[in-house]
A and B are shown apart, each in its own frame.
Chain A
Amino acid sequence: MDLLAKLATISDRHMRMKALGGDAVGVVNEKLISPTRALIDGRETILAGTNNYMGITFDAECIAAGQKALAEFGTGTTGSRIANGSFSLHRELELEFATFLDRKHCIVFTTGYQANLGMMSGLAGARDTIYLDADSHSSIYDGCTLSGAKLVRFRHNDAADLDKRLARGEADEGGKLVVLEGIYSMMGDRAPLADFVEVKKKHGFQLLVDEAHSFGVLGPHGRGLADEAGLEKEVDFVVGTFSKSVGAIGGFGAGDHPYFEYLRYAMRPYMFTASSSPASIATSLAAIRKLAAEPQRRKKLAENSARLFHGFKDLGLELGCDVVSPVVAVRCPDEPSTIAMWGALLKAGVYVNIALPPGTPNKLCLLRCSVSAAHSDAEIDRIIELFGAVVAQGHGKKVANG
C-alpha cells in the first residue's frame, strides 16, 4: 500500500481550488516592497493578511541590528540552547522580554509553534489535565498531544462551560492547566478573561494565555490581553511569538514560578532543535525596544483596525466578531465562492488569507484580513473598496454558480 495514497483527497481539493480561484495556499511574494506591499504574479499588491501588526519588518534600526549580528555572530547557531546554541544575544533577549512582560523569567524558542509545544509538554504530564478552548490554535492542540496529559476541550470563550467541565473532573489528582488565547487568530475575538479568572478562583488551576496575536497590540504596555484587562497577576504563564508584532521568527514563554527556569530541561521542543539565528534574535531585540518606546504604533494599529472594521460593517459584511480587532474575518457563504472571491481580490490587487474548515471554527469559510500599523488610510480604503466590489456584490456567488 502506497503511504501517500491517502493524500488523494487533498490533491483533489487543491485541484478544485486552483480551478475556482487560484492557488490560495501557494502564493509567492516575488518581491517585498514595504511591510504592506509586495509583488505577486508580477502585480503590486496591498498585503492585508500578514500578521505584521506593528509594520516593523522594514524598520531601519531593526535591519541594522540584524546585519550587525549576522556579521558578529554568523549565519546560524548550529546547535540547541542547552548545548552550543546559546549566544549572549539569546540571554539578552530573554532578559529584555522578561522586563517588557514584567515577569521574572522568560524562555526564548525557535518559533511560536515550538513555544506552545514546549510549554504544554513541559507544564503538563500524563497525570495532569489540560482544559483547552475549542478554538485553540493548532500549535496548542499539538502541544497538548505531545504532553500526554488528559485533554478536555471546552466551548469557545465560555467560562461557565469550563466551570462545568472542571466540576466533572473534580476527583482527579494531578495538576490542571487551562489554556486561552488573547486574540483568537481566525475570528479576532478576545477571551473574556475576567470570567475565566472567576472560575479560576473557584477551582484553582494554573492559567496560560497565548498572546500570539495580542502581544504588542493590546494593553497600556502592549503586553496583551491580560495587560488590557488588568489581570496579569492571575495569569501564571504567557506564551507568544516573534512572527507577528515583533516581525521576526521565534517564540517565548514567560512566568514567575520559582521552578520556571527548569522547564528548559523538560521541554523537548526547546532541547532538540537549534536555537534561533543571531540575526533573528537581534532584530527581535531591536523590535521589542521599539515597541516599548513607540506606543503610537499601537494607537495607529487601533485606528486602522477601526477604519477597516467600520468600513466592512458599512458594506453589510458579516464579520468574525463584533469588536474592533486587528484580525478582521469576513464570513463567506461556502468554499467555492470563498475561493473565487479570494482570487478576484488578488487579481484586483489585495492579498488576504483564506481560511477554510477544518482550520476554522464551526465549518466557517473566511476571508481573513489582518491590519498593520503601517497601512495608510488610502490602503485601508482601497481594501474596503475592493471588498465592496468583490464580496458585498456577491461576485463570488456568481462565479461559483455560473
Chain B
Amino acid sequence: MTDTVSQLCKLLEPFNTNGTVLSAATDISTDLNIDSVTVMDFVMEVEDHFDIEIPLNVLSETRTVADLAKVVEARTKKG
C-alpha cells in the first residue's frame, strides 16, 4: 500500500459503516454503499488533510481509492 493510499484508507474509515476491508481497489461509492453527498463530504476531508483542492468535476472519473490517490498525488506535487 502506498503512503497516499494508506492515508486515504484512514480518512475513509469513519465513512466505512459496512465493515469493508479498505484497499486501493475499494470502489468508494459502491463498495461502501455511500451516496453522492457522503462521497463529497469524504473528499472535503481529503482536501483538508492534504491541503489541496479537489474540484467536484474530477470526481466523476474517480471511483476507487487508487483513482483518488492519483488525483491527490498529482495535486500535492503541484502545490
Contacts and interface: CB of A to CB of B under 8 A. Distances in A.
B53 A134 contact: no
Contacts of A357: 35, 37-38
Contacts of A363: 38
A358 interface: yes
A152 B55 CA distance: 5
Interface in A149-177: 150-153, 155, 165, 168-169
Contacts of B40: 134, 153
A153 B51 contact: no
A155 B45 CA distance: 10
Contact of B53 (A155, A165, A361, A362): A165
Interface string B40-78: 110010010001110111000000000000000000000
Given A165-B53, A168-B51, A168-B53, A155 B38 contact: no
A362 B36 CA distance: 12
Most A CB atoms within 10 A — which of B35, B36, B55?
B55
Nearest to B39: A358
A134 B41 contact: yes
Given A150-B57, A155-B44, A168 B52 contact: yes
A152 B44 CA distance: 9
A358 B55 contact: no
Contacts of B55: 129, 150-152
Interface in A346-402: 357-358, 361-363
B44 A153 contact: yes
B42 to A, nearest CB: 12
B35 A358 contact: yes
Contacts of A134: 40-41, 44
Contacts of A151: 55-57
Interface string A126-166: 00010000100000000010000011110100000000010
A363 B39 CA distance: 12
A155 B40 CA distance: 11
A153 B41 CA distance: 9
B35 to A, nearest CB: 4
Nearest to A148: B57
A169 B52 CA distance: 9
Contacts of A169: 53
Contacts of B53: 152, 165, 168-169
B55 to A, nearest CB: 5
Contacts of B38: 357-358, 363
Given A134-B41, A168-B51, A153 B56 contact: yes
Nearest to A132: B56
A357 B39 CA distance: 12
Contact of A358 (B37, B47, B51): B37
B36 A358 contact: yes
A27 B69 CA distance: 45
Interface string B12-45: 0000000000000000000000011110110010
Most A CB atoms within 10 A — which of B35, B36, B37, B41?
B37
B45 to A, nearest CB: 11
Contacts of B52: 168
A392 B53 CA distance: 43
19 contacts: A134-B40, A134-B44, A151-B55, A151-B57, A152-B53, A152-B55, A152-B56, A153-B40, A153-B44, A153-B56, A155-B44, A165-B53, A168-B52, A168-B53, A169-B53, A357-B35, A357-B38, A358-B35, A361-B37
Interface of B: 35-38, 40-41, 44, 47, 51-53, 55-57
Interface of A: 129, 134, 144, 150-153, 155, 165, 168-169, 357-358, 361-363
Given A153-B40, A165-B53, A363-B38, 19 more contacts: A129-B55, A134-B40, A134-B41, A144-B56, A151-B55, A151-B56, A152-B56, A153-B44, A153-B56, A165-B47, A168-B52, A168-B53, A357-B35, A357-B38, A358-B35, A358-B36, A358-B38, A361-B37, A362-B41
